[in-house]
Chains A and B, each alone.
Chain A
Amino acid sequence: DAGVTQSPTHLIKTRGQQVTLRCSPKSGHDTVSWYQQALGQGPQFIFQYYEEEERQRGNFPDRFSGHQFPNYSSELNVNALLLGDSALYLCASSSLDSGNTIYFGEGSWLTVV
C-alpha cells in the first residue's frame, strides 16, 4: 500500500515564475492538505481539498492555489514566485472514514533563485 507520494522531490525556479507540485494521497484517503515548511520552522497549513473543493485555507496569499481531481490526487500551484517561497512543501492525506490519522508525504523541495 503506497503512502502519500509527491513529485517532484526537488526543483529550482526563478523569481516570478510559476510552479506546480503534485500529490497522490494514501489509498482510501479522500482529503488532501498542503503545508509549507521554511528552513528551521514547523510546517504551516496552506489549504485543504475535499470533494474537489477548497475547504479550509491558512494565511497564504492568492498566489497559492490548488486543485483536487476526481481520483483525489491534488496539485499545488504557486504563481509569481518570490525568494521567500523557497521551502519544503508537504502534502498530507486523511479520511474521516479511515479514522483521524493524517499522513504526510516526503515533500517537494522548492528553491527560488
Chain B
Amino acid sequence: DAKTTQPTSMDCAEGRAANLPCNHSTISGNEYVYWYRQIHSQGPQYIIHGLKNNETNEMASLIITEDRKSSTLILPHATLRDTAVYYCIVSNAGGTSYGKLTFGQGTILTVHP
C-alpha cells in the first residue's frame, strides 16, 4: 500500500470549514483513498472514500487531485464534536490487500469555540 503524509495537527474554528490535506504521491491506479477518524478511546469511524472522482456524503467531501497524488478532506461546518485524529489511508480495495488498512500517525484536528 502507498504511504500517506499528513500534517501532525491542525486547528479550526467552530462553524468554519476544516480542510485536511493528505499527500499520497506513490498511489497506484487501483488504490482507493480512505478517510477515517478516531475520537479518543473509540474505534475508528469511517468517513468517506474515493478512487479518482470527488465524493460527498452527509459527513464530508473528498477532493482528489487529477494526478491522484494528493487529496483533501473537507468538513464543511466543523463542530466541537469533530475534534479527533483523522487518518488518510490508501488501500487496494478488492485486491490482494483487501480489508487491510495501513494507518499512519494521522492529523489531530482540534475544533475550538
Q: Chain A residues near B104 (CB, 8 Å)?
A: 42
Interface bits A1-40 vs B (CB < 8 Å: 1, else 0): 0001000000000000000000000000001010100000
Taking a contact as CB atoms under 8 Å apart, the answer to whether B44 and A90 are in contact is yes
- Could you say which of B17-25, B65-73, B75-83, B91-99 contacts chain A? B91-99
Supposing A96-B94, A96-B98 touch, asked if A104 and B45 sit within 8 A by C-beta, the answer is yes
A33-B97 Cα distance, complex, nearest whole Å = 12
Q: Chain A residues near B93 (CB, 8 Å)?
A: 100
Select which of B32, B99, B105 is within 8 A of A31 by beta carbon: B99
**A111 part of interface (Cβ distance < 8 Å):** no
Q: Chain A residues near B34 (CB, 8 Å)?
A: 102
Q: Chain B residues near A35 (CB, 8 Å)?
A: 101
Supposing A42-B106, A100-B93 touch, asked if A33 and B44 sit within 8 A by C-beta, the answer is no
**A56 part of interface (Cβ distance < 8 Å):** yes
Select which of B87, B94, B99, B106 is within 8 A of A92 by beta carbon: B99
Taking a contact as CB atoms under 8 Å apart, the answer to whether B44 and A104 are in contact is yes
Is the contact region of chain B dominated by helix, strand, or loop, or is it mixed?
A: loop
Residues of A80-113 whose CB lies within 8 A of B: 88, 90, 92, 94, 96, 100-107, 109
Taking a contact as CB atoms under 8 Å apart, the answer to whether A42 and B45 are in contact is no
Supposing A42-B87, A42-B103, A42-B105 touch, asked if A101 and B98 sit within 8 A by C-beta, the answer is no
Supposing A42-B87, A96-B94 touch, asked if A102 and B46 sit within 8 A by C-beta, the answer is yes
Please list the residues of chain A having a beta carbon within 8 angstroms of any beta carbon in chain B. 4, 31, 33, 35, 41-45, 48, 50, 55-56, 58, 88, 90, 92, 94, 96, 100-107, 109
Please list the residues of chain B having a beta carbon within 8 angstroms of any beta carbon in chain A. 32, 34, 36, 41-46, 49, 87, 93-94, 97-106
